[in-house]
Structure 1
């Protein structure tokens, strides 16, 4: 499950997940950088003013096959990805618990962790944080800023928890994320939680079938966008 931290990683300076434009704006200031970028950028730069974010609607979904439950605001950070942080990774998690307990944990402000999505053993997908925003799921600030976190309901030592319906739904979801951000579906860009630098978790564990999963993600990507 998501890690209880949005700290660590490389810090603010030289974050690998920051876009070139975000660094430019951070160094020169909104007005100066917008002028350098040109008139079109100036017209779109209003949301870079501190405290202002891109328009969004409560309950709006990024994935057509999902339902919405909001995670506690204490468990994620407002952002405007991919304009301020480049999204180029997907982190795969296992909840180490049931669906309801996982949803309840992300709704709990004292949990201090969340993921963008939870995928159930029946293939149901619950979105809990917008992809625009930074979910606290990996225990590494830089990785959180550059990634989408997908939880899978079950336990790492129970291979039977990773059902066909779960793999299929998660693959469609991941293919949709890859399509939006131009992420290649390979092991460089898909990480297990245990592979995140500084992680102290073991998920998704040895029973997660990476070969099968990535093959299904690529097949779902080739099939085209999912309809609502």
Structure 2
């Protein structure tokens, strides 16, 4: 095993210790994540559709969300088979820690539209739309690196037509990421990577 894998495994183990015991119990690592800086915290298989993207469905969007809950509660919701919801990633406010909850090849249930779910990667951000203090510099920076990596791997343009908010999904009754989300800053950061 090379040094990089050992260090990555140690980082995942240390990161998992920050999750509540109820989440750690179901968050046993299955190996590598799609994004090297993420820790594996699996959603229940009842909360997404297994697929083989991009072969089965092309991926051409990143959809940004705000959790309206804490980081640990969100990861716990995705792990609960009764909830019928999941996104690919959750980014913590305080330190930008990233949990991957399902593989990018699979279809998350996050956008409220089957068409948009099939063609997107969903990224949740810890916080509340009306509390901009949750949108920390670290969160913006780490999330932007994640989004840039997703865009690079899937050939997605790094612009507002392809990196969208949940509120932009046709028929959505959601407002996230909300008026306090700094889109100009975020897209600049995505393009700096």
- TM-score, shorter chain, exceeding 0.5: yes
**Equivalent residue runs for 1:1-228 within 5 Å:** 58-121=30-93, 122-220=95-193
Counterpart secondary structure, 1:208: coil
Report the equivalent of 1:8.
none
**Number of equivalent positions:** 164
**Structure 2: gaps of 5 or more residues:** 1-28
Counterpart secondary structure, 1:149: strand
Q: Deviations over 1:155-201 (max 9, x none)?
A: 00011110000000000000000000111111100110011012111
Structure ID, larger Rg: 1
- Runs of 4+ with deviation above 6 angstroms: none
RMSD: 1.0
Q: Structure 2: how far apart are the matches of 1:97 and 1:200?
A: 17
Query: Contact conserved, 2:30 with 2:40, CA < 8 A, in 1?
Result: no
Query: Contact conserved, 1:59 with 1:70, CA < 8 A, in 2?
Result: no
Q: Deviations over 1:129-156 (max 9, x none)?
A: 1000000000000100000000000000
Q: Which has the higher contact order (CA 8 A, sep 6+)?
A: 1
TM-score, normalising length: structure 1:
0.71
Q: Structure 1: how far apart are the matches of 2:49 and 2:30?
A: 15
**Structure 1: gaps of 5 or more residues:** 1-56, 221-228
Q: Structure 1: how far apart are the matches of 2:154 and 2:145?
A: 15
